[in-house]
Amino acid sequence: MTQGPLTTEAGAPVADNQNSETAGAGGPVLLQDQSLLEKLAHFNRERIPERVVHARGAGAYGTFTLTRDVSRWTRAAFLSEVGKQTEAFLRFSTVAGSLGAPDAVRDPRGFALKFYTEEGNYDLVGNNTPVFFVKDAVKFPDFIHTQKRDPYTGSQEADNVWDFWGLSPESTHQVTWLFGDRGIPAGYRHMNGYGSHTYQWNNEAGEVFWVKYHFKTDQGIENLTTEEAEALAGRDPDSHQRDLREAIERGEYPSWTVQVQIMPAAEAAGYRFNPFDLTKVWPHGDYPPIEIGRLELNRNPQNIFAEVEQSVFSPAHFVPGIGPSPDKMLQGRLFAYGDAHRYRVGVNADHLPVNRPRATEAHTHSRDGFLYDGRHRGAKNYEPNSFGGPHQTGRPLWQPLPVGGATGDHDAPRHAEDDDFVQAGDLYRLMPEDARQRLVDNLAGSIAGVSREDIAERAVHNFRRADGDLGKRLEAAVRALREG
C-alpha cells in the first residue's frame, strides 16, 4: 500500500534517504543534515530498559467468555452474565532470561492477563505454576539476584542458585515443580496458567470469598526434556513465540478453560495451611475447582514493541468486586509492578493503546510527564472541583479486612499443617516412576554443578525432608555426578 513520500518526524518530505549531505563529493558530513541526525538520534533511543524479570515474552489478544453465573461470589461486571464476552490481552514470558534469551529453557513462565472490562482494566499477573519460590516480597530481589548474572563472573552460577534455595526451604515445593516434567513447556499454547496468589471476591451483599484462578490449556499439556530443550534453544531461540504467532495465523486459536477455587472468608483462619502462602496450593479435595469460563486467543499484535514490549500489567489493577488478600508476596507486587512500569516505560504508560481501557475511559487528575498526550485539554486537575470534573464514588472495590496487634516484622500466622516440605513431597508421590526418575536426574544435574559440598548437601537435605525416597535417590545421583 502506497503511503506517499517519506517524511521526517515533523512531516517534511525527505529528498534522499540513500546519501547523507556532505561538504562536496567525498567531503565530511554536515551538521545541517537534520534528516540524518534525526534518524540516528531516534535509532539510539529505540529501545527502552528491558524488564528486570519476565523480559523475554510474546503476547496475543483474545476473548474471555463467562460460562457460569458467579454473581453469588463477586459483583464484578465482566463476571455478571453467562455468555458475556470481554476483550483480553495475554503476555507469556520466561522469568530469568534477558530479552535476547531463548524460549526453550527450564524456567517458570509468566501468564499475565489484561481484561478490558467496562469498569476499567483488570490485570491478573500469574505464572504457569500455582506456587512460587518465596512467600514474602522482601526476599524477591535476593531470589532474582541468584537467577541473574553474578556481579563478578557475569554468568548465572549454580552456587548462587542452590545456596539461596538451600537456605530458603520454602522454595522446595516450587523447585520440585521447576525440575519436574512441566519445568520446560513445549510452547505457550501447551501449558496451564495460574493466578497463583489468593485474591478477594466480594458480592453485592458485601460477603467476602477467597479465590484462586486456574487456566487449563485445551490443547493439552506438552513438555520438553532437557535434551530436547537444549537442541531447540540452539536451533530456534524464538520457538515459543513463533509457535504462538503461527498457530493464530493458521486460525488454530489456542484456548484455556478457566476455573476458580473458592473459600468462604470465615474458613481461612482455621484452614490447615495458610491460605495466603504463595508456596502452597489448596488441595482440590478441599476446594474443588469450579469451571467459570473460556479464554481464547485469536489476534496477533501488529507491532511487538508497541504491543508486547510496552504492555504493562499490575496486580493492583482491580475492578469492583475483586481485591487483594493478605498474601505478603502479593502485597509487595501491588507496589513493585506499577513502579517498574513507571520507570521502564514512563509515568503515562497506561495511556498507550495496548494498556488503556477499551470498554470505558480513564478519568483522572494526573497530568503531564513523559509521553503525556494532552487528552484532558483544559479540564481542572484537582478534586473536589465545581467544574464538572470526575469525582469519587464512595464505594470501595473490595471489602476491608479486620486487623489487630502491634506493627512489626512478623512471620505469617502459623496454621495446623504449615510446613515447607509436605506439599513438595505430595507432588513427588503423585508422579509416576518415570517422571520421578527424570526429576531426580534434572535436580542432580543442576546440584552437581555447585563448587562447595555444604551447598550440595543442604540442597539435597531439603528434598530428603520432603520425601525420604526422593532424598535417598537424589543424594546418590549427586554423589555419582560429583565423583564421576
Q: Could you report the per-residue pLDDT of 389-420, keeping only the tens digit for each?
A: 888 889 999 999 888 888 898 888 889 989 99
Do residues 477 and 441 make contact, with C-beta atoms less than 8 angstroms apart? yes
> How far apart are the two ends of the chain, measured CA to CA in Å?
64
Catalytic, out of 19, 44, 54, 351: 54
Residue 152: its pLDDT value, please?
97
Do residues 153 and 189 make contact, with C-beta atoms less than 8 angstroms apart? no
Residue 2: its pLDDT value, please?
66
Peptide bond preceding 384 in cis form (omega within 30 of 0): yes
Regions of the chain with pLDDT less than 70: 1-2
pLDDT in tens, 344-367: 999 999 999 999 999 998 888 888
Q: How many Cα atoms occupy the beta-carbon half-sphere of 399 within 13 Å?
A: 19
Residue 1: its pLDDT value, please?
59
Q: Which residue's C-alpha cell is 504463595?
A: 278
173 is catalytic: no
- Burial class of residue 472, CB neighbours in 10 A (0-12, 13-18, 19+): middle
Catalytic, out of 17, 121, 127, 298: 127
54 is catalytic: yes
Residue 193: its pLDDT value, please?
98
Looking at the whole model, is its pTM more than 0.85?
Answer: yes
Q: How many Cα atoms occupy the beta-carbon half-sphere of 372 within 13 Å?
A: 11
